[in-house]
Amino acid sequence: MLGSPASFLQINVQLERAFALAPRWHLLLRDEFGATAASHFAQMPPVMRFFAGGADSVRGFEYNALSPIYTVYAREKTSQCPGQMCPLRVQAGGKDVISGTVEIDRSLPHDLGVAAFFDYGNAFNSFHTPHLLQYGAGIGLRVRLPVLTLGVDVGQPLSAPGSPRLYINFLPRL
């Protein structure tokens, strides 16, 4: 990458397939696999690292909230450490990523639909840590427009504490 001292090779494969199960039922499967080989990964810009979480990844988690975390120290003016160097947790991005979705959609009258989904994934610095996968599940409403579908989903983290999150996204028309 221009302007970066890190040389790297990266692959990112995303697969998505919809299956018609019955006249009004669809199964949507989505998987992502990414891997990086880098000479100096620590010098790679964050924009080239992998993250997971959010509407297109693991619903139930914040956008890009799943990745290795580093602690940095910064001077903060908060009640927890006034005027001192405080530890801050930073999502740093990972060398590798795995994520996927299993979603069942049911078409309803008037171009509406409902969905139930299960998502999994995380970004890692090594594929030897698959036990760090995070899981989310939820339900959604689909509004079928002429060329695409508007999705309104509520996702709940299953593998970590957290409140439900609302997601609004556009999907291919099923």
- Is it the case that residue 11 has pLDDT exceeding 90? yes
Place of tokens 């979705």: 101
Note the pLDDT of residue 2.
55
Assigned CATH for 14-172: 2.40.160.50
Residue type, 174: L
Note the pLDDT of residue 102.
98
Place of tokens 């427009």: 145
Note the pLDDT of residue 172.
76
Q: What is the Cα–Cα distance from 97 to 74, expressed in whole angstroms?
A: 29
| pTM metric for this prediction | 0.85
> 39 φ, ψ to 5°?
-70, -40
Map residue 56 onto helix, strand or coil.
coil
Q: And the tokens for 76? A: 């903060």
> What are the structural domain ranges in the chain?
14-172
Place of tokens 């979480």: 53
- Is it the case that residue 7 has pLDDT exceeding 80? yes
HSE value, Cβ hemisphere, 13 Å, CA-based, for 157:
16
- Is it the case that residue 1 has pLDDT exceeding 60? no
Averaged pLDDT of the chain = 90
**pLDDT tens column, 60-73:** 999 999 999 888 88
| Mean pLDDT across 85-92 | 85
Percent of the chain with pLDDT over 70: 91
Note the pLDDT of residue 76.
66
| Mean pLDDT across 107-131 | 91
